[in-house]
A and B are shown apart, each in its own frame.
Chain A
Amino acid sequence: MRALLLRDLSLSVRAGGGFGLALAFFLIVVALVPFAVGPATSTLSLIAPGILWLGALLACLLSLDRILALDWEDGSLDLLATAPIPMEGVAAVKALAHWVTTGLPLTLAAPALGVLLNLAPEGFLWLTLSLAVGTPALSAIGTFGAALTVGVRRGGLLLSLIVLPLYVPVLILGSEVARRGAAGMETGTALALLGALTLGSLAAMPFAAAAAIRINLR
């Protein structure tokens, strides 16, 4: 399974691999918001946590259909299904590779982009922490969505429709942690709930994704 993770990571950083796509999208969204909203710093710092979380979520969504569709198109998924590694493991590794190539760079870039939106100084730690805790759930749920739509050509729209409702709780709790942190309020409850959401999806989604892949390969 480590071989699969290494292969997916090296594929993503090579030509046409899509690494940096999510990061570039995140950068563009956040950089354009001050132009659209206006330069009033009080307004910007008010909406900064929400915009940063929304940007990260949409950037994550952008790369979901690559998780399994490429392997399905060139036949690798069939071969992985007959390989001596469990499909649940394949799904978990795919989610992990997606997180390393999108969720992790987004988390690391978010504090730098927070400056662009005049995020309150207390908020930087909480923003980074909430993204670090929340983005693994986005990748795990996204892999499940990708598994459901794996046989559908150009299934990106369907994938978004399936996945977005499942992303809403993560978005609400994640931006709540960042917003409360930036306002200097207590963040424990929201952070604990966000963590619970992530752990729950990490535990359940590989099994759901594996079952969906098996059905789609028939």
Chain B
Amino acid sequence: MDVGCTNLSCQRGGITVLDGVSFRVPAGGVLALRGPNGIGKTTLLRTLAGLQPAASGEVTPSPRDMAYASHADGVKAALSVTETLEFWARIHGSTDIAPALAAFDLERLAERRAGTLSAGQRRRLGLARLMLTGREIWLLDEPTVSLDAASVALFAGAVQHHLSEGGTAIIATHVDLGLDAAMLDLAPFRARPSAGTSEFDEAFL
């Protein structure tokens, strides 16, 4: 499925950080977001995912077709790996968690409690959740943090498989995943400091 936005402005904490962002990624394509810290990569992804409204501009398709993976994995320490994946599978209406376990090499850890996993293993568990969402567009925020080289390769393989089935991915990353990714540098879209504050906050000030 195609994904794109036109003339999108994003706000964070009531301040416009990105202005006039436009891009289009065709089905089966992958877009890597680049730019210095604080430029608004996370804000852009959250806006695309529908977690916050766009200040202006348009996003297609609707957030209902997108799966978002944030910095935090949303993993509960008290649940086992299997329980975590089964929970997200039921939430998203899918049933079989075996492919997700296999794709991220989690089979040996299936009965382990998530609280006892290492940071990289927990990250893999968080990413395995994406395969259960059944959604065509993946929005990934620094997915390779705390992954070792082998896990990065596993992850790149999972993304490749997703793309081969007609999916699309937008990835904020500084690591070369070996994918045929289009680059989008966000630095030119940095909003001018004077550009508008949120009316929502003004009501309280």
Whether the pair B72, A217 counts as a contact (CB closer than 8 A) is: no
Q: Say whether B50 faces chain A, with CB atoms less than 8 Å apart.
A: yes
Q: Say whether A84 faces chain B, with CB atoms less than 8 Å apart.
A: yes
Q: In the complex, which residue of chain B has the Cβ closest to the Cβ of A76?
A: B74
Q: Say whether B164 faces chain A, with CB atoms less than 8 Å apart.
A: no
Q: Say whether A36 faces chain B, with CB atoms less than 8 Å apart.
A: no
Point out the residue from B70, B83, B87 that lies within 8 Å of A78, measured CB to CB.
Answer: B70
Inter-chain contacts of B50 with A (CB < 8 A): 82
Interface membership of chain B positions 170-205, coded 1 if the CB is closer than 8 angstroms to chain A and 0 otherwise? 000000000000000000000000000000100000
Whether the pair B93, A84 counts as a contact (CB closer than 8 A) is: yes
**Beyond the given A7-B76, A76-B74, A82-B68, could you list 15 further A-B residue pairs with CB under 8 A, ordered by the A residue number?**
A7-B83, A10-B78, A17-B78, A73-B72, A74-B75, A75-B73, A75-B74, A79-B68, A79-B70, A79-B88, A79-B129, A82-B67, A84-B91, A85-B91, A218-B51
Whether the pair A11, B76 counts as a contact (CB closer than 8 A) is: yes
Question: Contact residues of A with B, CB < 8 Å?
Answer: 2-4, 7, 10-11, 14-17, 71, 73-76, 78-85, 215, 217-218
Point out the residue from A15, A73, A81 that lies within 8 Å of B51, measured CB to CB.
Answer: A81
Question: Contact residues of B with A, CB < 8 Å?
Answer: 49-53, 63-64, 66-68, 70-79, 83, 87-88, 90-93, 129, 200
With most chain B CB atoms within 10 A of its CB, the pick from A14, A76, A79, A85 is A79
Inter-chain contacts of B73 with A (CB < 8 A): 74-75
Inter-chain contacts of A218 with B (CB < 8 A): 51-53
What is the CA–CA distance of A80 and B51 in the complex, to the nearest angstrom? Answer: 10
Whether the pair A74, B76 counts as a contact (CB closer than 8 A) is: yes
Inter-chain contacts of A84 with B (CB < 8 A): 64, 91-93
A-B contact pairs, 19 of them (CB 8 A): A3-B87, A4-B87, A7-B76, A7-B83, A11-B76, A14-B78, A17-B78, A74-B73, A74-B74, A75-B73, A78-B51, A79-B74, A80-B91, A81-B51, A82-B49, A82-B63, A84-B91, A215-B200, A218-B52
Q: In the complex, which residue of chain B has the Cβ closest to the Cβ of A12?
A: B78
What is the CA–CA distance of A218 and B10 in the complex, to the nearest angstrom? Answer: 11
What is the CA–CA distance of A85 and B73 in the complex, to the nearest angstrom? Answer: 19
Shortest CB-to-CB span from A6 to chain B, Å, is: 8
Point out the residue from A3, A15, A75, A217 that lies within 8 Å of B78, measured CB to CB.
Answer: A15
Whether the pair B64, A75 counts as a contact (CB closer than 8 A) is: no
Rank and list the top 9 A-B pairs by shortest CB-CB distance, nearest first. Answer: A75-B72, A3-B90, A76-B74, A218-B52, A75-B74, A14-B78, A79-B74, A82-B68, A83-B91
Shortest CB-to-CB span from A205 to chain B, Å, is: 22
Whether the pair B78, A78 counts as a contact (CB closer than 8 A) is: no
